[in-house]
Chain A
Amino acid sequence: MPKYQIPIVDTDIHERVQYKDILEYLDEPYKHYITNCHWIQEKHMPYTQPAVAGVDRADAIVPDGRPAGSDLKFMQEQLLDDIGHEIGILTSALDPSPSSMHGWHEMAVALASAYNDWQIENWLEKDERLYGSVHIAAQDRDAAIKEIERVGSHPKMVQVLLPIDDIMWGDPFYHPIFEAAEKHNLMIGMHHNEPPVYYGKWPRYFIEWHTLIPTAHMKQITSMMFNGVFDKFPNLGLMMIEGGFTFIPHLMWKMDQQYRDLRHEVPWLKRKPSQIMKEQVRFTTQPAEELTKKEFMSLIEQMGTDEMLCFSTDYPHWDYDSPYRALPNLDAELKQKIFAENAKAFYPKLPKKRRANNERASSL
């Protein structure tokens, strides 16, 4: 039952593009490849997502039959208005990821640009609550930097999205991307696409792959950490999206212990890894494991800070988390932090104060 009202900053909402929607933002010859040559992005997962309607909530399919997440009006009705979001951060579903594009960088770069233009025009500029993620084809580093320069200063772009896929982003080759992001006050958001969690192959069942996604997130944090990204770019933050959060204490302890033993190899780390995580790494909460309040509070205690978790729904995907039910009933101050303040403190471009004219309070 509603007890009091707090705003929600939802850090993971997947708007969805259909290729026909971005054609007008694509130049030739790329447009031709989709329109006449029927190009679609290569996917590798051998199974479907075995819920009721594949990757989506069965009730999120647009009433006219279009795929979930593809219509702003329906998203407003079912999510933003219904719950009363103050802010929603779009993380999309288009992914010109390295493992699906292979060496076809030109197409990946064109898709990312078209996507950004489509996102800005059809979402960010149509709903004041929505903020966006800059898509890049980071495998083509220099083109990616150009794209960050092109759209990164848009007032509603808050992060650069990197896929958790088959590249470890801590590699110094990619550091210029972080430099460009930092320059524009953009954070880095990382979301898995089809990461190899299984010795480079696919496990036999979807449930195995889905269970192991946090391991792919741990690999990227470890890569960013020991390659010195956070010390080199002190104003940069990393948001790990949709990989869970119960592994955080383990990773902090493990990296600290390794650092004490083997600092010799990574002398550019000036702070303990756990300290760096507390200061520069954040995690979206969905898919939240079902914890009791006691278990949840013990986890926060083990992290040593209550500022790392940022609430997310993952709408419209099947493993959506309801703001009313996904987390245990936390004390007001902590709730406020997890549901809104932590994300506002993390993303420099989000408005810090609640909009005065915002009537859409959420009851939690």
Chain B
Amino acid sequence: MKEQVVCKTSDIQPGEMKEASFGRQGVLVCRTPDGEFYAFMNQCIHQGAPLDKGMICGATTDKSKPGSYDYCHEGEVIRCPWHGREFSIKNEGRMLANPSKKIPSFKVRVEDESVIVYK
């Protein structure tokens, strides 16, 4: 499977995510608030939870100081439905607490109304 239309652009609003199939592989298609599309393996790299059952959200950042939260990147973070690990959509799916780990990702392009995932 080299490439595949996984959904229509109108299927996912900015700040939302959705499960789709790429061949036999389950993928998580995310749309960040700026309208861009991203696709990741729909399985958490920790213990394998289905990521589409988690949430797309923002995160408290490393600019936070003890006792004072800095929260941003709304719509740019995936949080796992089980242990809550956070992955940055805009930073190659890297885990916030340990950026050396990342969710495998797929390339995505949009043609007309179609969201196409490819390797």
Q: Which parts of A319-333 form the interface with B (CB within 8 Å)?
A: 319-322, 324-326
In contact, B48 and A318 (Cβ under 8 angstroms): no
A291 located at the interface, meaning its Cβ lies under 8 Å from any Cβ of chain B in the complex: no
Task: Report yes or no: B82 in contact with A57, Cβ–Cβ below 8 A.
Answer: yes
Q: Does A58 contact B (CB under 8 A)?
A: yes
Contact A58 B46 (CB under 8 A): no
Is chain A's binding surface mostly helix, strand, loop or mixed? loop
A13 → B minimal CB distance (Å): 15
Pick from B6-14, B49-57, B103-111 the stretch touching chain A. Answer: B49-57
A53 CB-CB contact with B under 8 Å: yes
Min C-beta distance of B74 to chain A, whole Å: 15
With a cutoff of 8 Å between Cβ atoms, the chain A residues found around residue B23 in the complex are: none
Number of A-B contacts (CB under 8 A): 43
Q: B42 → chain A, closest Cβ, in Å?
A: 12
Q: Is the CB of A52 within 8 A of B47?
A: no
A58-B55, A318-B84 given; A52·B48 CB < 8 A: no
Within 8 A of A (CB), among B40-90: 46-50, 53-55, 79-84
Interchain CB contact under 8 A, A51 and B55: no
Is the Cβ of B84 less than 8 Å from the Cβ of A52?
A: yes
Q: Which residues of A contact B80 (CB under 8 A)?
A: 52
**B50 with A52: CB separation less than 8 A:** no
Question: At the interface, yes or no: A59 with Cβ under 8 Å from chain B?
Answer: yes
* Contact (Cβ within 8 A) B50 A51: no
Interface residues of A in 36-70 (CB under 8 A from B): 50-53, 57-59
Chain A residues at the B interface, C-beta cutoff of 8 Å:
50-53, 57-59, 318-322, 324-326
Instruction: List residues of B whose CB falls within 8 A of some A CB.
Output: 46-50, 53-55, 79-84
User: Nearest 3 CB-CB pairs, A to B?
Assistant: A59-B53, A58-B81, A51-B84
